[in-house]
Amino acid sequence: MKDLSVLIPARNEMFLSRTVASVLENARADTEVIVVFDGQWAVPGFELPQDSRVTVLYNAVPWGQRAATNQAARLSRAKYIMKLDAHCTVDEGFDVKLMVDCEPDWTVIPKMYNLHAFDWVCDNCGKRTYQGPTPTKCGHCNHGVHTRDIVWKPRLHRMTDAWRFDRELHFQYWGAFKARPEAQGDISETLCNLGACWFMHRDRYWELGGLDEKHGSWGQMGVEISCKSWLSGGRQVVNKKTWYSHMFRTQGGDFGFPYHNPNSDVERCRQYSRDLWLNDRWPLAKRKFRWLIEHFAPVPGWEDFEAKPVTKGVAFYTDSRLDPGIAVPVRQRLQNSLNGHQLVSASLAPLDFGKNVVVKAERGPLTMFKQILAALEALETDVVFLCEHDVLYHPSHFEFMPERKDVYYYNENTYKVDTKTGQAVFYYTKQTSGLCAYRDLLIRHYKARILKCESEGFTRAMGFEPGCHKPPRGVDTFSAERWMSASPNVDLRHSQNMTQTRWDPKEFRNAGACEGWKLVDEVPGWGVTKGRFDAFLKENIK
C-alpha cells in the first residue's frame, strides 16, 4: 500500500506538467500521482514527466471534475488521498507533514499562497506584466508581441488559511477569523475550503460517499467537502505547517476558465447544493446544518441565523463497587447541584441515576474510557462535565463555560480528603473528575484513546487526562487549561481509588507536580474534615 495518492483531474490545463513535477520533486513519502485527462490529452509542449510514480487515465468524452476525481480515487490503493488542482505547486515534504496531523475523521487543508506562475515580457522593451490574458500591446512602448516567462513561485505575501461561505453557500475568504482564539496554533479549524486542495484518509473519502456527481461537473466542491467533513461528525482543519500555492484565473479572455462551463450549469449546481445542505437532506449527516453555523458563530452574513443557547450536561461514571456510604451521598449531592443539566450515568451494573448506560466489562482503565464514551454519546448537550462517583461537587463547578471548542478545561480547585482520617490536602492538579469541554472534542478524544489502548495497551505514561500528554505518549495535540470554581470540589480518597493518593510532597518525583501544596484540617466553604469525616459528609449532603 502506498502512503498517498495525489488526484489531479485535468482538462485543457497548460500547467499540469509543472504541477505534477512539483508534487514529484517535493514528495518525501511513498507518494504517487493519478492524473485524469478528462476529454482532452496533454496540451502540446507541456507533456507530463516520465516517472513510474505517475498513472494516467484518459476519458475520450469528459466526465466532469467530480466524476474524474472519483475515477482517480477508485484507482488509488493508498492510505491517504489528496485532490489537487492542475495549476498548483506544493511545499517540500507536504505529504509527510499532512500525514503526521490527520486523524481518521479529519479533512486537512494546507495553508494557501497565490501562485505567481508567469509574467508576460514585451519582446521590444522587456517590460514585464503580471500573469493575465495575452497582452494586445505593451503599456510602455505599444509593441504588440509578448513572450510568456515562467516564474512558478508562491506569492508569500498573499497567504490565506481561513475560509467560509455566505448565505447562498458561495465560497468566501475569512481574514477576520485569524484573530479569533480558535484560529491560533499550527492546526486550526476552518468552516470551508477553496476546493483546490484537500487531504484525508482514503477510507474516509468513501465513507463520505466520494464526491456527489449529482452536483454536476464543476462548482461547490469546497462547500461539499466542508459540509460532509463537519456534518458527518468529523472535522476540517488547516495545517499551517505546510502549504500549497494556487494559480487563480479570474481575468477572462484566454486567462479564464479552461473550457466552456455554462452559467446555467453552475447555477444548477449551486441550487442543488443549497437544497442539500440548508434543508438537511444529506443522508449520511450526523449533525444538522445549524450546528455548523453555531459552531463557528459569529459568521458574517449569518447574524440573523439565530443560535441556540449552549447546553450543558454531565457524564457520570462508576465501577459499581464503591461503598454505598460514600456512593449514595455523592450522587445525592450531585443531583442537587446540577441546576437542570442533563445527566447520563455509565455504570458496570444497572443504576437508577439519570439516564443510565450499562457497560458490561471488568473494572479497569480501558473500561472507564469506554464508560465515559458511552455516556458522552448518550448525552445531547454541547458542553459536558465529567463526574466521578467519589467526588463531592460544588454547584459553582457547573457554572463554568468553556471559552474554546478545541481545549480541555480542568477545575483545579479541588481538595482531597482521606475518608478514614479526614485529613485534607490541596495542590494544583488536573484530574479527569474536574474536566469540562465541548462534547464533540471529548468524543473524538475517547474514541482515539480507546483505539490506542486496544492496540497498544494502557500505560501510566499515557495518563488519564486528555490534553496533558502529546503524542506519542498521549492521544491528540489539543491543549489543556486550568480554571478555578468559586468554591472547591472534594475528592474523596478511599481504599478503592484507581489512582494513588500522596500525602507528602516527597512522594512526587517532580516537585512541580504538587504546586501550591498545603495540608489542612478543613476545606474552605465545606467545613472541618480532620477527625470527623462521617459528620462532615452528613453536613454537606444538601
Which pLDDT tens digit goes with each residue over 31-56? 999 999 988 887 676 678 899 999 99
Q: Span 26-32, mean pLDDT?
A: 98
- The pLDDT value recorded for residue 304 is 78
Cell of 304: 440573523
Percentage, residues of the chain above pLDDT 90: 75
Q: Span 199-226, mean pLDDT?
A: 93
The half-sphere exposure of 117 on its side-chain side, counting CA atoms within 13 A, is 22
- The pLDDT value recorded for residue 259 is 58
Q: What is the DSSP letter of 328?
A: H
Give pLDDT tens digits for 464-485.
999 998 888 889 989 999 999 9
- The pLDDT value recorded for residue 504 is 80
CA distance 380 to 245: 41
- The pLDDT value recorded for residue 440 is 92
Give pLDDT tens digits for 435-455.
999 999 999 999 999 999 999
- The pLDDT value recorded for residue 105 is 95
Q: Look at residue 479 and give its three-state secondary structure.
A: strand
Phi-psi region of 252 (alpha: psi -120 to 50; beta: other; left: phi over 0): left
Write the single-letter amino acid at 488: P
Residue 502's pLDDT band, with cuts at 50, 70 and 90, is confident
pLDDT(285) > 90: yes
Residue 179 phi/psi, 5° resolution?
A: -85, -10
pTM: 0.67
pLDDT(270) > 60: yes
pLDDT(147) > 60: yes
Instruction: List, in sequence order, every beta strand (DSSP E) within 447-517.
Output: 479-483, 489-493
- CATH of region 4-116+154-296: 3.90.550.10
Cell of 61: 468524452
Contact indicator for 9, 72 with CB cutoff of 8 Å: yes
Q: Span 237-251, mean pLDDT?
A: 91
Strand 4-10 and strand 80-84: the pairing is: parallel
Q: Span 162-190, mean pLDDT?
A: 93
Question: What is the secondary structure of 127-182 as a DSSP string?
Answer: -EEESSSPPSS-TTT----EEEEEEEEEEEEEEE--EEE-TT--EEE-GGGGGSGG
Q: Span 367-382, mean pLDDT?
A: 96
- The pLDDT value recorded for residue 181 is 87
CB atoms within 10 A of CB 208: 22
- The pLDDT value recorded for residue 266 is 72
Distance of CA 460 to the CA centre of its chain: 26
Strand 383-388 and strand 435-438: the pairing is: antiparallel
- The pLDDT value recorded for residue 306 is 61
Give pLDDT tens digits for 451-464.
999 999 998 888 89
Higher model confidence: residue 133 or residue 496?
133
Mean of per-residue pLDDT scores for the chain: 91
Q: What residue ranges do the domains of the chain occupy? A: 4-116+154-296, 332-340+386-539
Residue 256's pLDDT band, with cuts at 50, 70 and 90, is low
Cα separation values, 322 from 209, 390, 391, 470, Å? 47, 8, 12, 32
Residue found by looking up cell 464543476 in the block: 218
